[in-house]
Structure 1
């Protein structure tokens, strides 16, 4: 039985309609064939695509300058998985930045080797080290422009040249920087990844990922893999993400401006051992950040306080009004503690190598009034270290 058709209207909805239908009916087998063959555009089964996903993909395509319709996935890690599992095979080798997001690190350290895909984790700011890690079977280099959570800046231009020279795919996770700060395709990326869960959607109520490739055949392979693996995004999450994208530029600019204020404020507090923000002249990659990001330093600030877990607990309790949560990109400021969340699977020694002690925090700055936010951090640091 067919549903009752929607009433006709001379006007149109201002908000994109939510399309929760799982199945789309075609008139004849010939029509269905034409859709699958690409001769006729239409939806068939929502695992293979649906209107709300395409609306969001097109919006991000415009922001990133993607040459083909990007692929939405059910999470940011879905997009990472689509690239690593959808394009690599047993016997291949991939090089990853050694300070990737914790789950990306885990996939490269544990899951890919189990499937016969070899991995090397290298400092993405050291092109010579990446070159030394290259092998004949290397197929891909994967980095974040600004690493999570230590905010190191990759040598994107050097890595892009190396990847082109070696004939390997250069993959950029642009989640932290976003296309507002950095156009990955313009800087040599072959594939761009986003966790839409974060700043692009921006309200902590969406779980989505995005991936797009410069080469159409590669883009098609990614799409086919996500369909086969069932990485289908929810229409409702896509609908919410579109709403978030409408205010993205305003949210990004406000949060980034406040992040710069907060970083400066934290640098003057007793008990704060170091502040990590690419705009600061004491950042180890400041010159590279200036050249790449051109003043768009993102809304993330990391810092370290004196003391161990007890001090970290006291700081989290003292940050009244802020959410202590393993997320980023919300309209409100959130604080995370990598040792107990994103990088908890690493040993304490390994975290120390990466610069993450028990007193290390990552801040995703939101839309609060800057002075009030700085006051909260002052009280929280005092509560932690006296």
Structure 2
């Protein structure tokens, strides 16, 4: 398990006289006054600390960015207005026309759309490859390849990337890793060869489904500066209030993660025996296709996500979602809330793919992804069983 740096769990102090607030303050100001033009020059040139205009940064974003950087083990990162804004800062902030990028073919649906639809519009060529096989991804590299983008554990099929094998074969190509599902509680990709790490802070780090944020950091200061410049220019700005909510959420992050992960592991076994369930995917299970790699790479930490498939197509999926929702387990296109949620990738995260494209990834109309929260395991098992019985009846 990755160790966190000391001092993470308390707010960064803001002194007021001889005392400092225990809770981090919200600072919503859009504009910050400078005493003189020379003082403003000093800020922009990095000779003095301070803020100018909220699009370029503000105290709450700076505090949250520093906390996540400490968790991931890098010097600095930037907070963005969403997880996809963080992906954009890495891809579009660092790539140019004529470059080539290799992405995992198991990426989150919107990340796949950015690779397939948006990057080609600006002249960046894209190839997709199986990130669970380092040799397959390495075979897709070209002389003009500038970046590789993978997820540590993929969304939604929970495949585990061969991170160390890919890093060893990158041959100077930048390796960007989306670490949203595993978080630095389970893995710190910089320690395994990553150059760039990305988070949808909206999910497990903030953890309460009330803040939309992203984070991206780099080992190299020059890369970090270029991504920050791109984010500032395009206005990928995070709200001070959302940053404050996420910083508060980090105070309970370890407790939330550990509880949800333990429940997910137990539920994966319970789901397997439910009516109509044809497949269960959880990286900690012995029957997971990447189970050996997950055990070695993640050192016993596997995430809070369980993906499963039920028989019967869309009619069964509708029945499952309705019955589980009536039992208190809602279906929603999100993850990482303190409460558990179901997701149906075919109608949400991966709806932009053709049925054939989804099938190639292993996603069917009966595929559900469960983001496990803090409820009692028995209550969740009961809701899932009601859903499975309704689907079987349908």
TM-score category, normalised to shorter length: over 0.9
Runs (5+) with no aligned partner, structure 1: 1-6
Matched, 1:350 2:357: yes
Matched, 1:335 2:342: yes
Give how far 1:115 is off. Answer: 1.1
Matched, 1:17 2:25: yes
Q: What SS class does the counterpart of residue 256 from structure 2 fall into?
A: helix
Match of 1:56?
64
Structural mapping, 1:148-297, within 5 Å: 148-163=155-170, 166-297=171-302
Aligned residues: 377
> Aligned to 1:130, which of 131, 137, 143?
137
Question: Distance between the aligned counterparts of 2:118 and 2:323, measured in 1?
Answer: 38
Q: Deviations over 1:309-343 (max 9, x none)?
A: 00000000010211210000000000000000000
Q: Does the Cα contact within 8 Å between 2:329 and 2:380 map onto a contact in 1?
A: no
Question: Distance between the aligned counterparts of 1:76 and 1:257, measured in 2?
Answer: 25
Q: What SS class does the counterpart of residue 221 from structure 1 fall into?
A: helix
Match of 1:380?
387
Give how far 1:10 is off. Answer: 3.7
Question: Distance between the aligned counterparts of 1:242 and 1:93, measured in 2?
Answer: 36
**After alignment, is 252-261 or 264-273 more displaced?**
264-273
> Aligned to 1:39, which of 32, 47, 54?
47
Give how far 1:131 is off. Answer: 1.6
Question: Distance between the aligned counterparts of 2:158 and 2:37, measured in 1?
Answer: 53
Give how far 1:15 is off. Answer: 1.0
Q: What SS class does the counterpart of residue 324 from structure 1 fall into?
A: coil
Q: What SS class does the counterpart of residue 323 from structure 1 fall into?
A: coil
> Aligned to 2:309, which of 300, 304, 310?
304
Give how far 1:270 is off. Answer: 2.4
Give how far 1:307 is off. Answer: 0.5
Question: Distance between the aligned counterparts of 2:122 and 2:140, measured in 1?
Answer: 20
Question: Distance between the aligned counterparts of 1:51 and 1:356, measured in 2?
Answer: 42
Question: Distance between the aligned counterparts of 1:202 and 1:8, measured in 2?
Answer: 30
**Residues 189 and 55 (structure 1 numbering): CA distance in 2 closer, same or farther, change over 3 Å?**
same
Question: Distance between the aligned counterparts of 2:50 and 2:360, measured in 1?
Answer: 51
Runs (5+) with no aligned partner, structure 2: 1-14
Pairwise CA RMSD of aligned residues?
A: 1.0
TM-score (norm 2): 0.94
Match of 1:362?
369
Give how far 1:12 is off. Answer: 2.3
Q: What SS class does the counterpart of residue 322 from structure 1 fall into?
A: coil
Q: Structure 1 residue runs of 4+, over 2 Å off?
A: 7-12
Structural mapping, 1:37-116, within 5 Å: 37-67=45-75, 69-116=76-123
**After alignment, is 11-20 or 27-36 more displaced?**
11-20
> Aligned to 2:35, which of 27, 37, 42?
27
Q: What SS class does the counterpart of residue 244 from structure 2 fall into?
A: helix
Give how far 1:130 is off. Answer: 1.1
